[in-house]
Amino acid sequence: MIVVMKEGATKEDISHVVEKLSEAGVDVHLSRGKFKTLLLVIGDVEQAGSLPLSVCPGVERVVRILKPFKLVSREAHQDDSVVDVGGVPIGGREFIVVGGPCSVESDEQVESAAQGVKKSGGRLLRGGAFKPRTSPYSFQGHGVEGLAMLEKAREATGLPIVTEVMDTRDIPDIAQSADMLQVGARNMQNFVLLKAVGETKMPVLIKRGFANTIEEWLMAAEYVMGAGSRNVVLCERGIRTFETYTRNTLDVSSIPIVKGLSHLPVIVDPSHAAGRADLVEPLALAAMAVGAHGVMIEVHPHPEEAWCDGSQSLTLDAFGSLMDKLRSVAPALGCEIAPKA
Ligand code: PEP
Ligand code: MN
């Protein structure tokens, strides 16, 4: 349920309604727009729904939401949300490119990838220190040492860091090093983890699970926002289908659908969707065309030597030419791309 306050509603009008709602046993989140304040009512709205709130001073109307997600919904916040990640805004006119290796391997590897990403106009550095691997015998990531490598690369380039959290026990370490916490596809419905990352109040990137519906994905974001984070970005990374030419199938339709249902920014990861370096550029262009707010690209100084996901990783040169293509198409689609550094 949402209580829409009138344009001129006073502080007293708002606190009066909040008080009434709290007495009815529900939580109230305030969403302040340019002109109006919305009161988002969370919890069992049975009793709150029967209150005659529409006659309270300053109330414009009371709206019932039938969708299962509330905090993430367009009704809760009509304007697009812009999420600030270490000074980089995701969700505005600028199409944000996140680049970096699948996994952090060495100081030299991360720094060289970060320098290449920065030089071509990439705005954020990705890289896994804690890796979710299908096989327990595969490289699991350097852990805390990997975080230190990412920090050095940030120091050298100024690019804020996005890195994955798999286990709540690692949150204190990762939160200290990273600018944005990533919840991976395999953990999208790990509700304990979602609540714990939300409690940090840090920016959170939620990848869509490869077997999850759009509604389940938005409910994952609802968990994070409900726990306290106001800075959530969604990431479409392909879903599992019967097709075998690609690792996953990029669900391009999910981007405009999510933008209709939610105010949260949404980006695309064409690397994990395709699983093939040759498809990364066309899929990244498709992402921009359907209105994504950015892309996340796996980049490696020597993809043939990568410890993880080399076949889908771009060389620094290929990343540079992808950035040139995106930059030339951007004006036609009403967005902007950062210039080369
Ligand atoms: C990643 O981005 O490093 C990753 C493991 O992706 P996903 O969770 O989408 O598979
Ligand atoms: Mn990867």
pLDDT in tens, 132-156: 999 999 999 999 999 999 999 999 9
Provide φ and ψ at 313, rounded to 5°. -90, 140
Ligand 2 center from residue 128 Cα (angstroms) = 8
If one compares 1 and 106, the residue with the highest pLDDT of the two is 106
Query: Within 13 Å, how many C-alpha atoms sit on residue 160's CB side?
Result: 18
pLDDT band at 81 (very low <50, low <70, confident <90, very high): very high
CB 185 near ligand 1, within 6 Å: yes
Cβ–Cβ under 8 Å, residues 126 and 90: no
- 5-45 pLDDT tens trace: 999 999 999 999 999 999 999 999 998 888 899 999 988 88
CB 128 near ligand 1, within 6 Å: yes
State which ligand 1 atom lies nearest to the alpha carbon of 235: 9
Ligand 1 center from residue 160 Cα (angstroms) = 18
Ligand 1 center from residue 75 Cα (angstroms) = 30
Residue nearest to atom 10 of ligand 1 (CA): 185
Q: What is the pLDDT of residue 46?
A: 80
Beta carbons within 10 angstroms of residue 112's beta carbon: 18
Structure tokens at 82: 């812009």
CB 70 near ligand 1, within 6 Å: no
Residue nearest to atom 9 of ligand 1 (CA): 185
Question: Looking at the CA of 184, which ligand is closest?
Answer: 1
- 262-296 pLDDT tens trace: 999 999 999 999 999 999 999 999 999 999 999 99
Stated as kind and residue range, the H or E segment containing 173 is helix 171-177
pLDDT band at 49 (very low <50, low <70, confident <90, very high): confident
Question: Looking at the CA of 128, which ligand is closest?
Answer: 1
- Give, for ligand 1, the residue of 110, 165, 182 to mutate: max count of ligand atoms closer than 8 Å to Cβ: 182
Ligand 1 center from residue 162 Cα (angstroms) = 12
Residues forming beta bridges with residue 73, ordered by sequence position? 262
State which ligand 1 atom lies nearest to the alpha carbon of 187: 8
Residue nearest to atom 6 of ligand 1 (CA): 184
Ligand 2 center from residue 311 Cα (angstroms) = 10
- 200-242 pLDDT tens trace: 999 999 999 999 999 999 999 999 999 999 999 999 999 999 9
Cβ–Cβ under 8 Å, residues 293 and 81: no
Angle at 183 between CA 133 and CA 221, to 5 degrees: 145
CA distances from 284 to 114, 119, 182, 215, 323 (A): 19, 19, 20, 24, 10
